[in-house]
Amino acid sequence: MSNPPAPLSTWARNVSPSPTLAVDAKAKALQAAGEDVCGFAAGEPDFDTPEHIKEACIAALRGGKTKYAPTPGIEPLRQAIADRYLADYGLTAAPSQVIVSPGGKYSCYLGVLATCSPGDEVIIPAPFWVSYPEMVKLAGATPKFVLADDTTGFRLTPAMVEAAITPRTKLLILNSPSNPTGAVYTRPELEAIVAVALKHNLYILSDEMYEHLVYDDAKATCIATFSKEVEARTITVAGFSKTYAMTGWRIGTTLAPAPIAKAMAELQSQMSSNVTTFAQYGALAALKEKEKTQVALKAMLVAFDRRRKFLHAELNTIPGITCLLAEGAFYLFPNISSFGLTDLDFCNRLLDTEKVAAVPGSAFGAEGYLRLSYATSDEVIRKGVTRLTRFCASLKK
């Protein structure tokens, strides 16, 4: 007689796979089967990594940078990251406060692990980036969602944060510019929210992954610059993936107060060790060869901005859809609640009938919306909008 194997852990049974990656995988499978799919689901730039960054990585690989490196990152890269916070925001930090991790996703997870214990609560503004709730749960902590819909531009007010705080609240996650909405908080708005966090002695995880992808007059805000007290409680996550079209490189960065940086490095030393050594030299070139990097970034921003305006204007001509003009990242988050379908049904039918891939808002904790990434070609956007228009018209019949 043979018994079935014992059940897997609670971690394995409770984790939800990334829904954005799931939609993207379904779209890619259709594409592989020969279908002409318009993909708005992927959360990554459609550009290739700039050439000088690749060259630096190749040179490092040829030069034998193939061994283990220090867990928190190679020294010149940590120094360059500290230098760039000074140059970008006037923030003085020691290289020892910088941790280089395998992707910004992992940086966020380490930040949660370093600050949260089982029983703690973490405030997550919704619509949220899909990984935050899962990371919090994997740390044994409890996510507390606070929804800000399109009536407030997807931005929380201090009163909404205050209302969600309990004696167990330990951490507030903020993400401006936002994935999935593209919303960018102003500095005064963030100062008011952070004041609430400070009053209740919360840690803040500020995910500034899209800090360089802003349009019109919008400016990203580095929360750690607010004051020494705020800096002592703020974990700033950023990275190379979105800004420099380096998603596959897996390099994220954290700037944190010394005790948190130390804890994150120790956790990382047991869980993954250093980021691929030669890849770090590519990241170093992105920061050191500033002019070339700026040229590449500007070109991407011009393309993103053109597509953003086009897609936004087109969406608002479709009867039944309303869409705010996001000022950051590379997403729009149109409201499709007027069609009387769940957003999941809407997305599945849109993919099945028109071969257009979009992610339902409910994946981000906001039912009734779609996330459309415009980090895709102008041609795909034009064609996709035509199909979406036809699909919406068919629903209204």
- According to the binding rule CB under 6 A, does residue 46 interact with ligand PLP? no
Least distance between ligand PLP and beta carbon 35 (Å):
26
* Residue 100 main-chain phi, psi, to 5 deg: -100, 125
CA distance 64 to 56: 12
Q: Is the previous residue joined to 167 through a cis bond, with omega within 30 degrees of 0?
A: no
- According to the binding rule CB under 6 A, does residue 243 interact with ligand PLP? no
Distance between alpha carbon 86 and the CA centroid of its chain, in Å?
A: 23
Is 135 or 351 the residue whose CB approaches ligand PLP more closely?
135
CA distance 66 to 302: 36
Stretch that binds ligand PLP, among 7-15, 104-112, 269-277, 373-381 (CB under 6 A): 104-112
| Cβ–Cβ under 8 Å, residues 121 and 99 | no
The interface mask with ligand PLP, positions 122-161, x = CB under 6 A, is -------x--------------------------------
The interface mask with ligand PLP, positions 287-326, x = CB under 6 A, is ----------------------------------------
The interface mask with ligand PLP, positions 250-269, x = CB under 6 A, is --x-----------------
Give how many residues touch ligand PLP by CB under 6 A. Answer: 15
Least distance between ligand PLP and beta carbon 319 (Å):
31
Among 78, 84, 105, 308, binds ligand PLP (CB under 6 A): 105
Burial (CB < 10 A; 0-12, 13-18, 19+), residue 302, is: exposed
> What is the CB neighbour count within 10 angstroms for residue 143?
18
- According to the binding rule CB under 6 A, does residue 104 interact with ligand PLP? yes
The DSSP symbol for 328 reads B
Among 121, 150, 207, 211, binds ligand PLP (CB under 6 A): 207
Least distance between ligand PLP and beta carbon 44 (Å):
7
Cβ-proximal residues to 59 (8 Å cutoff; 6+ apart), any chain:
281
Stretch that binds ligand PLP, among 236-244, 341-349, 359-367, 368-376 (CB under 6 A): 236-244
Helix (H, G, I), strand (E, B) or coil at 105: helix
Among 241, 268, 277, 293, binds ligand PLP (CB under 6 A): 241
Stretch that binds ligand PLP, among 6-14, 100-108, 192-200, 225-233 (CB under 6 A): 100-108
**If we measure between CA atoms, which residue out of 260, 256, 396, 389 comes closest to residue 339?**
396
| Helices within 272-339 (DSSP H only) | 277-288, 290-315
Cβ-proximal residues to 186 (8 Å cutoff; 6+ apart), any chain:
221
Helix (H, G, I), strand (E, B) or coil at 146: strand
Which residues here bind ligand PLP, judged by CB under 6 A?
43, 103-105, 108, 129, 175, 179, 207, 209, 239, 241-242, 247, 252
